[in-house]
Amino acid sequence: MRRRAAKRPGSCCASRPDVAQRGSTLTLGLLRIRGPSSRSFRASDLHVMSNQRPLASAQAAVHEIIGISSLSPDQILERCELMKLPCAFQLMENWAEHESGAVELGKLEIFDLIFRGRVLPLGECLLVTDSGFISGSALSCSGESLRDALQQLTEFAFDGDVVFVWPESKCISLFHHEGAFAHVG
């Protein structure tokens, strides 16, 4: 069973036992990244999907929908509250047990819990995970193929914040790394 360590705020790698940090250098296998705000990732963690879009396209879509360019779930929720849009974080079932290691939730199980009882919007979906924040890219796929696209990712995806944006439908779905999710639109 995979045990998850507590995350530091703003850290995509705190739950990854295979990441070593010394000073301002993060090391993972043979990959080293230097700098005060460095994050480390594997090349295989990057989405090797057929349709990548710049992260700015997801930011622009969020701006078009709610008027801010942030992809932070907390800031998106705050903005929605100010705009009086119906949006509230819901704690995921079994999340405490998942965090403790008593229950193992796979990425497709988490996806199914987030979207249970919802029809996925049609049109393009931009999916941003922690590795997308690092690489500066968003996965672009159709809403209908989103679950399959997520399954193909080499990363777990839900060990950090995840933002799903449907620009044409003006919908946003959020997963917060503390086990909560929300839908806008």
Note the pTM of the prediction, 2 decimals: 0.72
Euclidean distance between CA atoms 39 and 12, whole angstroms: 7
Instruction: For residue range 122-175, list pLDDT tens digits in order.
Output: 899 999 999 999 999 999 999 999 999 999 988 899 989 999 999 999 999 999
Position 88 scores a pLDDT of 82
Position 64 scores a pLDDT of 96
- Spans of all domains in the chain: 45-184
- Burial grade of 136 (CB within 10 A; 0-12, 13-18, 19 or more): exposed
Encoded tokens for 22: 């010394």
Per-residue pLDDT at 76 exceeds 70: yes
Contact 13, 19 (CB under 8 A): yes
